[in-house]
Structure 1
Amino acid sequence: MPTTTNLLRETFRNPPDDSRIMMRWWWFGPAVTKPEITRELEEMKHAGIGGVEITHLYALGLDDAKTGFHNQPFLSAEHLNALRFAAQEARRLGLRVDVTLGSGWPLGGTEIPVDEAAGELRVEEIDVPPGVTSVKAPFLDQGEALIAAFVGDASADIRADGMVLGVARELARLDAPVDGRFAMAAAERPRRILCFVSSRTGMMVKRPAVGAAGFVLDHYNAAAIKTHLDSVGAKLLSAFGDRPPYAVFSDSLEDYGSDWSPKLLEEFQKRRGYDLTPHLPALVEYAIPETAAIRHDWGRTLTEMADENFLEPMEAWAKEHHTRLRAQVYGMPPVTLSSNRLVDLPEGEGKATFRMWREFSDTRWAASAGHLFGRNVISSETWTWLHSPAFRATPLDMKAEADLHFLQGINQLVGHGWPYSPESAGEPGWQMYAAAALNAHNPWFDVMPELMKYLQRVSWALRQGKPENDVAILLPNDDVWAKFSARVQPAASAANPRPFSENGHSVSMDEMMPWVLDDQVVAQVLDAGFNVDFIDADAIDQVGIPYRALILPGVDRLPVATYGKIAAYARKGGVVIATRRKPATAPGFENAERDSARLQELSRDLFGGGVGTAKFVPEDASLGAELKKLTAPDMTLTPAMPQVGFIHRRLEHGNLYFIANTTIVAEHLTAHFRDSARRAEEWDAFTGEVRGVANNDGVKLDLEPYGSRLIYFADDAKAGDPEPRREEHLAADLSHEWTVRFGDGDVAEKMDALRSWTEDAKTRYFSGRAAYERKFDVMSKDETPGTRWILDFGEAKTPPLSWLTGEQHNMQAYLDAPVREAAQVYVNGSFAGDVWKPPYRVDVTRWVRAGVNRLRIVVGNTAMNEMAGKPLPNYRLLWDRYGRLFEPQDMDKVEALPSGLLGPVRLIRSDPR
């Protein structure tokens, strides 16, 4: 690792290839050919992309003997041969290769038998009229078994939240059915039977490749993941020979409704110390004092079983095969933040809003786990829902979202993604149904290398040293487990064989966490000038509390042993702030009264005034102010600007800060840093240049919309001098008299005034590149030292502020740019720079000369216009053949968009004062 400032600067300028972004490379069908594999890998290499994650999805074309188009069945000899070739070509080009451990998601497929398929607790309700003594039991399908049945009074008081009061103790357990019928004594009142069945969700793998459809595996059953790894994982790795992929990947844990496994009762007894069977009604709708504790114990058992029977075997298998496990550890089953300790490369995923870095997010969840468990490289699935529909995203959209991931601690981006597309698919080619398409079919792709280099440099910078996040927010896992619930389902019928939704109910820690963790908590910490990680009780038990401050956000349930460690941390000077309530309730059913009393005693001792660094604040809104009283902020801005964030890395000889403006307007600020030094440098992630900046009374930050900076503090940093004041003069208005050539055409059109291509019927539906050319005169180059010549394209227009208040369907940069969407500038035949982000300017000083100058600007738009001008595919026959495996997203938003140079274009002379 670099240890000196000079070496840091040099490595920043030319960072190693392993800090380049990766792309999720979708193989549809798979229907791939070797020439196309080579072409696309070479395009990625040229663009500055560092590797691929090969993911196999549904078919996008039908086999056709006339054209030779062919979908290779998943794991067939021809598919594995193509995978082998792709791995060889990637190695030839110096690209990293990961492979997803299956097809589609979650893991599973044809190899999973029903008795290893994802499990659920099926709770069926049967009405019993007065006087009835025999009732038909539920039908049990393959892979199902009746656990227990209870009968009770059908009339009960319903609480406002839908839970039933006062009947749980009146339930009587029924004997097992005989000849398919329950027997019971007659009663005068109507009753109902609740039948608890160990069942299967029936969920099939989502978006599978040809030949890969099948059940999702049981994440609580070690035999199921072994079956999958032996049948699927081993075959995939066989294609790599003696050079395994860099990592194998487990995608989203979206095992909807998976809350049971046949061995759960046995495991529950072993782990929790009591039999769950008589308490099963508490998992559905019966409110008794013990309900939350029983649900907690059920939820924790599910988590432990997923950790031990899914993640641990998969991680061990990866090591055995000399590769690494990269995994998205959130969702269903209810894995926790600490479950990430079982993977080599934790991965997050971006939410679809610009606010994600100021709320609870799976991205910060993964980054926090990486910080806690010593995983220095932390990746995130990036651009998942970027500016839908596919091919609508722009380079500025990509930068704006990537910076949000960086602000949360991510330092390896995995782009979502790159759709493989054969030549026969035409333009813009294939696309994944619900994702950005970021391949070379985008007309703006020529500026991709500049964007990729920016992302590479920032990723490398954020791997240096150690994370310096001051504050940890304790995730209330025990409170979330206590809110888990199963669901009573109406009886199935021929007309409605599966009377519940695919998603079912939620037994997901991260999906339920925002309902327990107030949205204000993360923002309060950030706005107070601190950066933040999440932590949970299991992490505290394993690694302690390596932070200046710990927040307990409305935590009620907490293990006594963990709370004791928190109290000891506070007595040693660590800041502990509880909001809304103080911990008071034992997490589980066993020893609840004793443990609750001990928790309440610890709360009295900790927050009773005897520990100066422990404070209780009744409202989350007071958290930030209290935090600043107890410890010094890391970075403060004048004026305060909540939408400008930072992340801090502590290096051996200095401190490095990444700062990003997430707003649509320029911000002019002064930043004060706690961990500064005598000198400061600004590292330009676009050019690799380093310059000293003044640090006398803070660092001046002039941040353009969606702008970002890297500031490095060290005693041997470059001396910073204030930037000289400059005076700008209009040297020439170049907004008129252009000659424009569209695509590869030989005909050049005159464009007297700059306008959108959509204003002309001939080019309304044109997607591609257009070359703008004209000449301009510079009368004299006699000028004072320091004079610069700037080509200025104008400012972006901002939308009305009303967009801030609504919920955005997906992330995008909310600016109407003067260049739509990217341009490359050439002056006198020399490349001068790319234009795709604010400020829309290029310094052309090096290339401007006295007299006549030739200006050429090549502009690329998006593929939307071409898509809008021709019929969209309806996939009818494809769905008839393979099933309706996908729904194209937001096709109603396909429309011709403003394109080209919209003006004005001006030549500016900038002189120092």
Structure 2
Amino acid sequence: MTKRFSRRPLAICAAAALLSAGAAHAAPDSIATVAARLASPPPEARPLMRWWWFGPAVAKPELEREIRAMKAGGFGGFEIQPVYPMELDDPARGIKNVPYMSKEFLDAVSFANRTGRANGLRVDMTLASGWPYGGPHISVDQAASRLRMATVDIPANSSSFALPVVMSGEKLVAVFTGEGKGADFDANRLALAKPGAAVNGRVEISPDPRARVAVAFIASRTGQQVKRAALDADGFVLDHLSEKAVEHHLKTVAEPLLKAFGDQPPYSVFSDSLEVYGTDWTDDFIEQFRKRRGYDLTPYLPQLWTGNGDAAAGVRHDWVKTQTELADERYLSRIDAWAKAHKTRFRSQTYGEPAVSLSSNRLVDLPEGEGPQFRQFSFTRLATSAGHLYGKAVISAETWTWLHSPAFSATPLDMKAEADRMLLEGVNQFVGHGWPYTPPGTVEPGYSFYAAAVFNDHNPWWSVMPDVTGYLTRMSYLMRQGEPANQVAVLLPNDDVYAATEPGKVTLSGHMAKYVTPELTTQILDAGQNLDYVDADAILALGLHHPVLVMPHVTRLAPAVLARLSAYVRGGGKIIAVGGKPSLAPGLLDAQRQSEQVRQAADALFASGPNVVLVRDDAAVGAALAAMLAPDMKLSADVSDVGFVRRKLADADIYFVANTSNHDVSANASFGSKRQYAAWLEPDSGKLVRAERQPQLKLAPYESRVLVFSDKPLAAAEPQRLDAPAVVADLGQDWRVSFGKGASVQMQKLRSWTDDDATRYFSGVAVYSKDVTLAADQIAGRRIVIDFGPGTALDSTPKVPAGMRAMLESPVREAAQVYVNGKLAGSVWHAPYTADVSSLLVPGANKIEVRVANLALNVLAGHALPDYRLLWGRYGKRFEPQDTQLIAPKPAGILGPVKLVGEKIL
């Protein structure tokens, strides 16, 4: 790799960003220091929880209890998100829904902030209730805007026609006339009517023997209402392209919220994914367009709907690009500046509608993604790529949004399976979705958000939550160290998406999967590489720092970007173009001359030598990439479900490797790091154990490991050499099992406790216990584990509407803590389903106790679901529980076989 591709400038930016985010140190750490800190990483790496306040109807004692529970569970903080009422007011139970932004609500916010801070937790605040931003303070003239088209048929020989009715919040922009009927007209042959031609709602025209059509363009409103709003928080979504609307929201909602925090502002203020459906306009759009694009959009308005050809595509490009700029300047930049002025940070999910770009993330302190789709186009990779490019050290993701529906079905293994995919995409801060506030006395298992998993202490498997969050914390800390080291960049063809966009759904991220296809991503990953996205704005601002750039079906590109690509290739960079060469200017103005420049520059670039290749389709990318760049991770077996991400320290390379499948993996592995010495980094302890330079990689289903390469030998011991495992004792029969405070039962043969009527709907912790007698020679010199078996792989994904889950059923449903002779040996919640009991066994009698926790879904299945008819009658239907038809008891307990397995230490 030539010096041109050094990441050093970005590392400096990343260090500065880390300091601004409250890091305790800025100097790069050595691998020895990182490993030493791994067993007890800094608290800022802990996962957060989105805390739903339903109503809001919250009481301080329960707020404090839940804050303490979050801390005990290993969470580092919470994001307050007020949402829809869950119950009607009930004085007997202390339930009172208070209006959003009322004195009572703001007092609860203030209390939660003080209490969270007192418990050492981070406190974040969303600057709205529900999403997107909006509410009752947003009048129709500040509501999310769109341009609508209305047509009026003009009969033959008519001398006038009636204009479409323009309602409150709307404004007539322009009217055109020409041949046609309804929406069947030629956009190039319409004539713009003169301003002021209407009298009493009618426009006079010269009679014509042919039937004609009038096409009116009206600046209108989407009418979208805030989704999942709290009491008195419902109303219009604001116009994200309007400076006036954004300022009004900051003054009316954000300012009072921040005052409730007093002299302890929130760690960050949050903006959820941009889901302003149908927006594509704002009141001063014509003026802003002329200022930015250099021509008047008005004569070209018909092209937005029905225009064909390069010119119409150029107009659409300019129209959408202008929206991106307005969202950048009036929404993202403005809120980020406001946050800084209030001594907090802006955390933003910068994707969706309006059409914000990858580089829009440069305008916010804390980019955030969403979605575990690491082998296809991903909103998460948008955020992580922007963080890598623009020096954002901490990149979060909303995690577990649709995990294992319906609510209360998600397991600790499900959490890990999705989180590992996030880590593979570059995430290093988890924001769990989420934690539902639940009033005392609520029928178990308590509240749940309408379409999300639940991760509070109403889950029976809460006992292992500190183990889950401990793993997430350690991996988040580890993935913040050093610099990102992805070797391949994929150019997002923003200009092509702009040009192909039509009214109704104006988005970059929403259309990008047509270009960055699953096959393209698979080709890159299966070639042994990881990837970042880049866009034209990033190339112009930062240049290119990846050894290889992939350009998927890029047709439109500015000459200035092509000049940067030429310089990149001259410096040693390599390009793989898919489907064709760039040939068109991005927009309309001066398009003919610029398109010729583009063609000439592209021809010269692709004739410059072997570092630039053109392949026919996505399927050819892998071979072309393999010819250009050695794999960063290569496995002897074709195991596409194994992913990796690398971080580069001054003295080491860190590889996080994860098996995302439900089957075992065994392969010889080689890695692209040029450093000489290798060691396994044990995630739980930070212990470094010497490894082969090309190690054998053995991974259980959904298992992950960390491999380190260093310049100098690490302080690492040789791994224990063990002989073949052998069964020391079969524990598959004769367990005493107690359920809560109920009487114990003898379980001759292990089975699901849902098989028995008395415990079919039991959710909780069942204690399995038995005695086993061992001779001294059975345990001496052996590493002994209690082995619950491999679990059962599922053949196909269950039919649920959304989300993901681990496709493996545990032999211990769903988590357990193992005690030997009264001492905790460890927790079991993911494969391999074992716990090391070597140090706790003694010759003679040993008491084995396994405390098994199942799902809260079972108790939920045991009683009728709530009837929300009266609630919806009072507040409107603000939610509908998802997938309730799937609620049924799930198998629970130890399913067997269970064995003590020993390996002699050689």
TM-score range, shorter chain: over 0.9
Instruction: Note the 1:25-104 alignment, pairs <5 A.
Output: 25-104=51-130
Counterpart residue number, 1:520: 519
Contact kept? 1:679, 1:692, Cα under 8 Å = no
- Report the more deviating stretch, 440-449 or 621-630: 621-630
Instruction: Note the 1:556-705 alignment, pairs <5 A.
Output: 556-608=555-607, 610-685=608-683, 687-696=684-693, 698-705=694-701
Which one of 189, 202, 207 corresponds to residue 169 of structure 1? 189
Distance apart, 1:781 and its partner CA: 4.2
Counterpart residue number, 2:848: 855
When normalised by structure 1's length, the TM-score is 0.94
Which one of 42, 47, 53 corresponds to residue 16 of structure 1? 42
Which one of 805, 811, 817 corresponds to residue 818 of structure 1? 811
- Report the more deviating stretch, 286-295 or 89-98: 286-295
CA distance in 1, matches of 2:660, 2:62: 38
Contact kept? 2:800, 2:883, Cα under 8 Å = no
- CA deviations on 1:667-711 (whole Å, 9 max, x unpaired) are 0122211214332221222x2242323324x02211110010111
Alignment of 1:542 with 2:541, yes or no, is yes
CA distance in 1, matches of 2:185, 2:102: 57
Distance apart, 1:728 and its partner CA: 2.0
Which one of 247, 262, 271 corresponds to residue 250 of structure 1? 271
Which one of 794, 798, 805 corresponds to residue 793 of structure 2? 798
Contact kept? 2:728, 2:778, Cα under 8 Å = no
Question: Matched residue of 2:444: which SS?
Answer: coil
CA distance in 2, matches of 1:784, 1:742: 35
Counterpart residue number, 1:150: 176
5+ long unaligned stretches in structure 1: 157-162, 487-504
CA distance in 2, matches of 1:4, 1:568: 34
Distance apart, 1:632 and its partner CA: 2.3
CA 517–788 in structure 1, closer or farther in 2 if over 3 Å, else same: closer
Counterpart residue number, 2:20: none
CA distance in 1, matches of 2:296, 2:656: 52
Counterpart residue number, 1:502: none
- CA deviations on 1:562-595 (whole Å, 9 max, x unpaired) are 1111111111111111110100011110010001
Instruction: Note the 1:74-223 alignment, pairs <5 A.
Output: 74-154=100-180, 166-173=186-193, 176-223=197-244
Counterpart residue number, 1:765: 761
CA distance in 2, matches of 1:615, 1:649: 29
Question: Matched residue of 1:873: which SS?
Answer: coil
Letter in 2 for 1:274: Y
Distance apart, 1:725 and its partner CA: 4.0
Distance apart, 1:247 and its partner CA: 0.4
Contact kept? 1:693, 1:699, Cα under 8 Å = no
Instruction: Note the 1:238-637 alignment, pairs <5 A.
Output: 238-351=259-372, 356-486=373-503, 505-608=504-607, 610-637=608-635
When normalised by structure 2's length, the TM-score is 0.95
Alignment of 1:712 with 2:711, yes or no, is no
Counterpart residue number, 1:735: 732
Q: Which runs of at least 4 in structure 1 moved beyond 4 Å after TM superposition? A: 163-167, 781-784
Question: Matched residue of 1:524: which SS?
Answer: helix
Alignment of 1:777 with 2:773, yes or no, is yes
Question: Matched residue of 1:825: which SS?
Answer: strand
CA 728–274 in structure 1, closer or farther in 2 if over 3 Å, else same: same
Question: Matched residue of 1:852: which SS?
Answer: strand
CA distance in 2, matches of 1:678, 1:797: 39
CA distance in 1, matches of 2:658, 2:256: 44
Distance apart, 1:318 and its partner CA: 0.3
CA distance in 1, matches of 2:784, 2:60: 48
Contact kept? 2:576, 2:612, Cα under 8 Å = yes
Question: Matched residue of 1:511: which SS?
Answer: coil
CA distance in 1, matches of 2:589, 2:53: 51
CA distance in 2, matches of 1:34, 1:167: 62
Contact kept? 1:4, 1:653, Cα under 8 Å = yes
Distance apart, 1:807 and its partner CA: 9.2
CA 765–782 in structure 1, closer or farther in 2 if over 3 Å, else same: closer
Letter in 1 for 2:282: S
Which one of 867, 886, 908 corresponds to residue 901 of structure 2? 908
Letter in 1 for 2:382: W
Letter in 1 for 2:549: L
CA distance in 2, matches of 1:516, 1:909: 53
Contact kept? 1:571, 1:611, Cα under 8 Å = no
Distance apart, 1:771 and its partner CA: 0.8
CA distance in 2, matches of 1:607, 1:164: 42
CA 615–860 in structure 1, closer or farther in 2 if over 3 Å, else same: same
Distance apart, 1:808 and its partner CA: 7.0
Question: Matched residue of 1:284: which SS?
Answer: helix
CA distance in 2, matches of 1:699, 1:720: 16
Identical-pair percentage: 46
Distance apart, 1:182 and its partner CA: 2.6
CA distance in 2, matches of 1:425, 1:191: 65
Contact kept? 2:93, 2:441, Cα under 8 Å = no
Contact kept? 2:336, 2:364, Cα under 8 Å = yes
Counterpart residue number, 1:500: none
- CA deviations on 1:341-369 (whole Å, 9 max, x unpaired) are 11000000015xxxx10111000000000
Contact kept? 2:58, 2:95, Cα under 8 Å = no
Distance apart, 1:539 and its partner CA: 0.8
5+ long unaligned stretches in structure 2: 1-26
Question: Matched residue of 2:569: which SS?
Answer: helix
CA 423–66 in structure 1, closer or farther in 2 if over 3 Å, else same: closer
Counterpart residue number, 2:15: none
Contact kept? 2:156, 2:207, Cα under 8 Å = yes
CA distance in 1, matches of 2:749, 2:778: 31
Question: Matched residue of 1:52: which SS?
Answer: strand
Distance apart, 1:417 and its partner CA: 0.6
Alignment of 1:840 with 2:840, yes or no, is no
Letter in 1 for 2:157: G
Distance apart, 1:627 and its partner CA: 1.5
Distance apart, 1:172 and its partner CA: 4.9
Distance apart, 1:530 and its partner CA: 1.4
Question: Matched residue of 2:793: which SS?
Answer: coil
Letter in 1 for 2:89: D
CA distance in 2, matches of 1:469, 1:80: 44
CA 722–772 in structure 1, closer or farther in 2 if over 3 Å, else same: closer
Question: Matched residue of 1:334: which SS?
Answer: coil
Distance apart, 1:664 and its partner CA: 0.6
